Structure 1
């Protein structure tokens, strides 16, 4: 399953064959846990006015709201926006006055406690329980529990530098997976590990979105910054979506301009 940088793609062909434009959030549309910048707000809002757009993020609905939904400008058409936080284990649509929940697959309290205990114990055993943190290390996102080595709100560069070869995340994921064979444990962002019900990832989100809209997964174009095998955006491609990679929000801005130049 080949994923290319958008600059290496035939953009005319992509636009001709795409019915939904899907995006990762952190380090794609915005820096981690930060609102979209004004230039991206303008482009993203304009795109929702001209096409069906899906936002598929590993973050919670609260964070997605902070980064995207609360900063959309007056040109945005929220009825064209499909919001799928926590890797698609929740799905929201605009009902005219608020974001209404279409479905959710939340973890029960006993499972949450077991997951949090396993993450903390193994992180400490592996020497991954960092002293300096920005926000909680472990966050219950309802349908997903996320461990972030330096906390949920650590600066992007701190997150990026923590595990450049993914070995720390993989070691923690493997240790926790042994405790929780009935759950899905995977590397998340630069410094995070996510735990959810089995089958809850961006592949699930893409399939659910296609089913809801009565289209094929190949009709969805998904853009993210972690689009290599093992990256948390790659499952969307494994589900059949067309995959496009970007390096950061600045690169994604160029993609937005290319899309808007071709859409009616």
Structure 2
């Protein structure tokens, strides 16, 4: 069981942490929204104390608008690790710009297979009906993402859509049966992701550990979807020390606690 952040011994967490990794949506910021000023301040200050990663299912463009664009001048960009699309891409600050260090893009054939399977099974399950805000199926290069209510759906609608996760699971299982060579996972509140097998948030924390010369257990991973069906769970299953939050307000409190101890 991943502990809620207030249940953890933050003194022990600060002693063990060599890197702190955060999920983005509903952890650092509300879905598709920029970090609030107080969160941007604490996050920026944290990069002066320890290496910090953002590992999210979203695109790099969202990392820019939700995180990078609101950082304070205090942020140490050289200690930031950006891993969008569930860790299938990795960016570092080099020579005054964000450089793509690695990527695991899907082939054109695999993208087409993923889109066709998602569309077919989503229609069969009735998931293409009803209100929609923006694209339902998005090509993120290294990941194809189906969002039942569209990419721009309001958070309240997302939370209410599939409270027990059964609709996402049914879609993911059906698509996985079509694409056994790829990895299909239920993602956020309304999404299902298709990506290269073996490349997810577990891969992300292993890659971070290897590149930093630390153990996976030296990484503290903070996220809101830490149950076995959640998209943050693979990081914990890989050996990172997980801390669960229920939203950005919790993450703000956790960051303040870590800043007082690091």
- TM category (shorter chain) comes to over 0.9
Q: Distance in 1 between matches of 2:129 and 2:187?
A: 17
Q: Paired residues, what number?
A: 262
CA contact (8 A) 1:24 1:55 kept: yes
Match of 1:148 in 2: 147
1:106/1:144 contact within 8 Å kept: yes
Tell me by how many angstroms 1:96 deviates.
3.4
Q: After TM superposition, give the deviation of residue 80 of structure 1 in Å.
A: 0.4
SS in 2 for 1:212: helix
Distance 1:213 1:256 in 2: 21
Q: Give the Cα separation in 2 of the matches to 1:251 and 1:11.
A: 14
Provide the secondary structure at the position in 2 that maps to 1:135: coil
TM-score by length of 2: 0.98
Question: Which string of whole-angstrom CA distances, capped at 9 and with x for unpartnered residues, describes residues 134-164 of structure 1?
Answer: 1110111110010001111110111111100
Q: Secondary structure at the match of 2:112?
A: helix
Structure 1 residue 157 and structure 2 residue 178: aligned?
no
Shifted more, 63-72 versus 186-195: the winner is 63-72
Match of 2:86 in 1: 87
Q: How does 1:1-264 map to 2 (within 5 A)?
A: 2-263=1-262
- Deviation readout 1:65-106 (Å, 9 max, x if unpaired): 111112111110000000001111110000131110110000
> How big is the shift at 1:131?
3.0
Cα displacement (A) at 1:130? 3.1
Q: Deviations for 1:155-179, whole angstroms, at most 9, x for unmatched residues?
A: 0111111100000000100111111
Q: What's the RMSD between the two structures over aligned residues?
A: 0.8
TM-score by length of 1: 0.98
Query: 3-state SS of the aligned residue for 1:118?
Result: helix
Q: Is the 8 A contact 1:130 1:150 kept in 2?
A: no
**Unaligned stretches of 5+ in structure 2?**
none
CA deviations over 1:168-207 (Å, ceiling 9, x no partner): 0001001111111100001000000000000111100000
CA distance in 2, matches of 1:138, 1:62: 17
Contact 1:162–1:191 at 8 Å: present in 2 too? Answer: yes
The runs of 5 or more residues in structure 1 that have no matched partner are: none
Structure 1 CA distance, aligned partners of 2:110 and 2:186? 19
